Structure 1
Amino acid sequence: MNFKRIVGFALSVVFFTSCAPEDKSPVVVKKPEVKKIMQPFRFHKAIEVKPGLTLDIVSWGRGSNSVGGFLVLRSDSTHLNYKSMASELDGKIVDAWDMDLDSDGNPELYIQSKGEGEGSYLSMYIYEYNESGSNQQIRFPELGSSLKKGYRGSDSIYVKDGKLMREFPLFSTGDSAVKATGEIRKLEYSLRSNSLNVKEIEEAGKTDLKKLKTEN
């Protein structure tokens, strides 16, 4: 085969490739597989507090979806120190996270759960861990009479600017038909001496002025 034939053959291949019909078959994208937790376990989340220190939160139970139990497994692979803690659970765990709300160097573990059905009432389980792995439970305060007025669950818990916040819609009281008022109650929690304090934050109109009320 001489040089002209080689060039002609190459040009014909390029022409055939450019004229070939475009493949418009749909591209199938595989969804990532969701790992299922073996029964009787229902929830698992691993929280790395720092390198070498991990908290595994696991909920479990059989026969009921509204009650059960949970475990906190503390793995300190740096010092080869492994501890566990167990407690009863009301509702289903929604999320778990760690933070140092009082900035004392000992992180707290926050476990949020909610009940089933209308309202989805909130439950919080809070533990502060020291360097040795010992934990102390911190009681999540119940709503006082003034803050509980119009409350019917559907809470939202989040962290903003290093503060623990809580919001929930308000409903009319005293009527046979309970209706949402369209108002939202916002609470802010602070931690001092292993005791949680709560404040209600009310916005005055459309201004930036905020009035704080302390719930004793």
Structure 2
Amino acid sequence: MFSTRYQYIAILFCCVAGGLASCTQDEKQNTPVAAAPVKAALMAPFRYHKMIESSPGKYFDVFGWGRGKDSSGAYMILHSDSTGKQYSNTGGDLEGSIIDIYNTDMNMDGNPEILIEAKAKDTTNHVNIYAYEFRGAKSQKLDFPKLTTKTKKGYRGDDNFYIKDGSLVREFPIYEGSGKNAKPTGKKKILQYSLRNNVFSVNDISPVDSSAIKKPVIVPVAKKPVAKVEKPTVVEKKSTKKKKKQKEETHTKKRKHKPRD
């Protein structure tokens, strides 16, 4: 009887545990799953938008817009200064599609610069930079340096821009060849852009390629044969007294052998 009572208790415990597990599983199934945030689609004709806060209360909304092919269009920068209650806008023609926006103060004058990176769709996939400096409600467009003819020979796009130590750094792989036959060499070009008096300067900080350095050709110098220097024959000079004595002796001998008359 004692064992039978424990059997009933065990059966009752299993039923209760099973019921609780079933309820817990039903609650899990009925719990709504949080949906992943969906990025709001831009309304045409806008293609790109990024908001940058350069300082508290100062915002820059950068838009890329245009209908038709995305190989060309326009950009627009909306500047909102809620603290100073100043609002302005500027824009221009755009070649390619906007890739990213950079906020800098490279000349450290307290006025923010907005740099727009746009990638063109051509054989080289070159990148264009549209740069502006903002002073209050006014904006000034800055001329960004183009690649030199020598640098363009190995350029095929794939740029990587980033801000480092107050400067804009640009990296891209170097190719060899032309057109579709161009192949990467495994080398990299690194350019550093600085700004002073609203004028850009560029410095090549690429690693030095030791194989490209022309080593000086050392021409062995032929050894000239050393000429033997003959020592001059030293003729000993006889003293005048000795010569005079010999002369007198010779004269005496001649007198002795002179025949008599």
When normalised by structure 2's length, the TM-score is 0.67
Q: As a proportion of its length, which structure holds more strand?
A: 1
Structure 2 SS opposite 1:203:
coil
In the TM superposition, what are the counterparts of 1:10-25 in structure 2 within 5 Å?
15-17=17-19, 20=22, 23=25
Q: Does structure 2 conserve the Cα–Cα contact (< 8 Å) formed by 1:121 and 1:152?
A: yes
Which residue, 54, 69, 89 being the options, matches 1:64?
A: 69
Question: Match of 1:193, as an amino acid?
Answer: N
Amino acid paired to 1:134 = K
The aligned amino acid for 1:78 is T
Q: Which amino acid aligns with 2:49?
A: H
Residue 147 of structure 1 and its aligned partner are, at CA, apart by: 2.4
d(CA) in 1 for partners of 2:167, 2:197:
16
Structure 1 176/101 Cα, relative in aligned 2: closer, same or farther at 3 Å? Answer: closer
Q: Residue 55 of structure 1: CA displacement?
A: 0.9
1:50 is displaced (CA, Å) by 1.4
Number of residue pairs the alignment of both structures matches = 196
Select the residue among 189, 194, 203 that pairs with 1:199.
203
1:32 to 15, 33, 37: 37
The whole-number CA distance in structure 2 between the counterparts of 1:174 and 1:83 is: 45
**Structure 2: how far apart are the matches of 1:180 and 1:41?**
36
Q: Specify the alignment match of 1:47 in structure 2.
A: 52
Secondary structure of the residue aligned to 2:154 is coil
State the Cα RMSD in Å. Answer: 2.8
User: Separation in 2 of the partners of 1:100 and 1:13?
Assistant: 71
Percent identity (aligned): 37
Report the secondary structure of 2:205's partner residue: strand
Query: Rg larger in 1 or in 2?
Result: 2
Give ranges in structure 1 of 5+ residues lacking alignment: 1-7, 207-216
Q: Can you give the 5+ residue segments of structure 2 that lack an aligned partner in the other structure?
A: 1-8, 211-261
* Amino acid of the structure 1 residue aligned with 2:139: N
Structure with the larger helix share = 2
| Corresponding residue number in structure 2 for 1:116 | 121
Alpha-carbon shift at residue 86 of structure 1 (Å): 1.8
One-letter amino acid matched to 1:39: A
Distance 1:104 1:173 in 2: 43
- 3-state DSSP of counterpart to 2:83: coil
Report SS of the residue matched to 1:146.
helix
Measure the CA separation in 1 of the matches of 2:21 and 2:184.
64
**TM-score of the superposition, structure 1-length normalised?**
0.80
